[in-house]
Amino acid sequence: MSKKQKFIEWVTLNTNVDDMPEDVASYWNGLVLTKDKEKPAFTDNGKMILQYMQTAVGTHFTSKEMAEALTSSSRTVSGAMRKLVTDGYVEKVGADPVVYAITDKGKAVEWEA
């Protein structure tokens, strides 16, 4: 169950939605009726970075190295890396500079042709 669904369920169980002011009820109904969109597992940048890490020579990479190889900015790479680390596809293995390594979960990702 998504956080949105949990929130809707909690409000429904713990409040009298019939007593909501008209503008609040309008917003509430829009929230309830809006379908959850399934988010992709990877952003475009995340996919590009993970594919690079799967095929590149070496095991440890800095954002700067990946940015240069992918002709992107290190800031763009760093932003995408946060999600990859959070999702368990990549791990931080060094601190100064920050160095990343692909995890077994990241190595196991297969891409559609």
28 with 48, same domain? no
The mean of the pLDDT values for the chain is: 87
Work out how many domains the chain is built from and give that number. 2
52 with 29, same domain? no
Residue type, 74: S
Residues 6 or more apart whose CB falls under 8 angstroms from that of 110 comprise: none
Report if residue 87 sits inside a domain.
yes
Report if residue 38 sits inside a domain.
no
How big is the chain, counted in residues? 113
48 with 92, same domain? yes
- pLDDT tens track for 57-107: 888 989 889 999 999 998 898 889 999 999 999 999 878 888 999 999 999
Which band of pLDDT confidence, cut at 50, 70 and 90, is reported for residue 3? Answer: confident
Q: What percent of the chain has pLDDT over 90?
A: 36
Which pLDDT belongs to residue 8? Answer: 84
* pLDDT top residue among 2 and 62: 62
Spatial contact of 70 and 77, defined as CB atoms under 8 Å apart: yes
* Enclosing domain of residue 27: 3-33
Ranges of beta strands (E only) in 68-110 are 90-95, 98-102
Report if residue 13 sits inside a domain.
yes
What Rg do the C-alpha atoms of the chain give, in angstroms?
Answer: 21
Report if residue 98 sits inside a domain.
yes
Report if residue 88 sits inside a domain.
yes
Q: 113 pLDDT exceeds 70?
A: no
Which pLDDT belongs to residue 39? Answer: 73
Report if residue 113 sits inside a domain.
no
- First vs last Cα of the chain: how many Å apart? 31
CATH assignment of the domain containing 103: 1.10.10.10
49 with 81, same domain? yes
